[in-house]
Structure 1
């Protein structure tokens, strides 16, 4: 039993290794790219639409609504990044139904990479919305004493995102593997479906947390402006 897909080595030459994490990460990304090309190549605004277009619209509309409900007033600006995060994690969870598939989210390196993407995206969206000076000044609020604590908070929540996703995905895979060894019949199938549900939930949680972090980075300046407007002289 492998604790992580990193332990499954397909090819190695010196320092360079091709493990299951890399292979299945690229497989998931390839499926997403190919599926998006196939689904979007014949989009139409007519009433008669394909089932794939209807499915795509349902997914996009629901993700956009979730982004807007969290607090981002222009969801289309963040849809590409946040939607890709959700679909990657969700598809990795769905892949567990395929024999021999190793979800890349069962590797700490993958979850750290996803968390680092969020770490980089938060200031980028914040600077884009507020400007460099205003965004950087938010780290020193309410006083300059909070500067190191705010920086530590950025790093610690990134670590928490990675460890949370990794722990939940790996634990589910381990439980299923143990049950397959002990009782290789009906019960592991139920646990596999439960693990699939857990994976989708984890994808949603990761998506929501990333959205919350971006919303916090882009809303602070707007909030100050809104609070100052009622006090402005008429």
Structure 2
């Protein structure tokens, strides 16, 4: 029993190793690229649509609406990044029904790489929305004394993202492997279904947390913009002044 797909070595030459994490990660990416290409090759805008297109539209709309509900007002700007994170983690979990497959998210190196992507994306989107100086000033809020704590929180939440996803996927794989040894009939099927549910839930949590972090990085800019443009409407502020008189 392997604690991680990193321990499954397919090829080794000196310090170069080709382990299951690399193989299944690239295999998963190829499947997603080829599958997305095949599904979107003949899209229809009419009433008659293929089942795959209907399923794709349901997934896209669900992710789009979820991003908007978290607080990002232009979901399309963040959809490619956040949607890719979610679909990759979900696909990595769903493929455990294939014998011999090991989810790459069961490796700490994979989950760390995903967390680093979020770590980089947060300031990139924040600077793009607010500008460099405004974004850097957010680390001094509410007081400059909070600067070291705000910096530490950036790294700690990245570490938490990586370890949370790795721990949940790895633990599910370990429990399934143990049950296969002890009771190789009923319980593994039940635990396999539970593992699928857990993986889906972890994909949702990971993508939602990434969305929340990005929303927090761009929120101060939107709040300032809303105040400048007066959310009450162009005529409401004038009416209030007249009533005050």
1:73 corresponds in structure 2 to 73
Q: Deviations over 1:158-210 (max 9, x none)?
A: 00000000000000000000000000111111110001100000000001000
2:22 corresponds in structure 1 to 22
- Scaled by the length of structure 1, the TM-score of the pair is 0.96
CA shift at 1:225, angstroms? 3.6
In the alignment, the residues of structure 2 paired with residue 16 and residue 9 of structure 1 have an alpha-carbon distance, to the nearest angstrom, of: 10
Query: For 1:201, what is the secondary structure of its paired residue?
Result: helix
In the alignment, the residues of structure 2 paired with residue 148 and residue 221 of structure 1 have an alpha-carbon distance, to the nearest angstrom, of: 22
Number of corresponding residues: 233
1:7 corresponds in structure 2 to 7
Specify whether residues 76 and 228 from structure 1 end up closer, same or farther in structure 2 by C-alpha distance, changes over 3 A only.
closer
1:170 corresponds in structure 2 to 170
In the alignment, the residues of structure 2 paired with residue 44 and residue 92 of structure 1 have an alpha-carbon distance, to the nearest angstrom, of: 28
Q: CA RMSD in A?
A: 1.4
2:83 corresponds in structure 1 to 83
Q: Deviations over 1:44-66 (max 9, x none)?
A: 21111111111111110000000
- Scaled by the length of structure 2, the TM-score of the pair is 0.92
In the alignment, the residues of structure 2 paired with residue 19 and residue 191 of structure 1 have an alpha-carbon distance, to the nearest angstrom, of: 26
1:123 corresponds in structure 2 to 123
CA shift at 1:221, angstroms? 1.6
In the alignment, the residues of structure 1 paired with residue 229 and residue 171 of structure 2 have an alpha-carbon distance, to the nearest angstrom, of: 51
Q: Structure 1 regions of 5+ residues with no counterpart?
A: none
In the alignment, the residues of structure 1 paired with residue 222 and residue 87 of structure 2 have an alpha-carbon distance, to the nearest angstrom, of: 30
In the alignment, the residues of structure 1 paired with residue 139 and residue 224 of structure 2 have an alpha-carbon distance, to the nearest angstrom, of: 15
2:234 corresponds in structure 1 to none
In the alignment, the residues of structure 2 paired with residue 214 and residue 61 of structure 1 have an alpha-carbon distance, to the nearest angstrom, of: 19
1:208 corresponds in structure 2 to 208
In the alignment, the residues of structure 1 paired with residue 27 and residue 220 of structure 2 have an alpha-carbon distance, to the nearest angstrom, of: 39
CA shift at 1:229, angstroms? 5.6
In the alignment, the residues of structure 1 paired with residue 177 and residue 90 of structure 2 have an alpha-carbon distance, to the nearest angstrom, of: 20
Query: For 1:43, what is the secondary structure of its paired residue?
Result: coil
In the alignment, the residues of structure 1 paired with residue 221 and residue 77 of structure 2 have an alpha-carbon distance, to the nearest angstrom, of: 18
In the alignment, the residues of structure 2 paired with residue 187 and residue 144 of structure 1 have an alpha-carbon distance, to the nearest angstrom, of: 55
CA shift at 1:226, angstroms? 2.9
Query: For 1:10, what is the secondary structure of its paired residue?
Result: strand
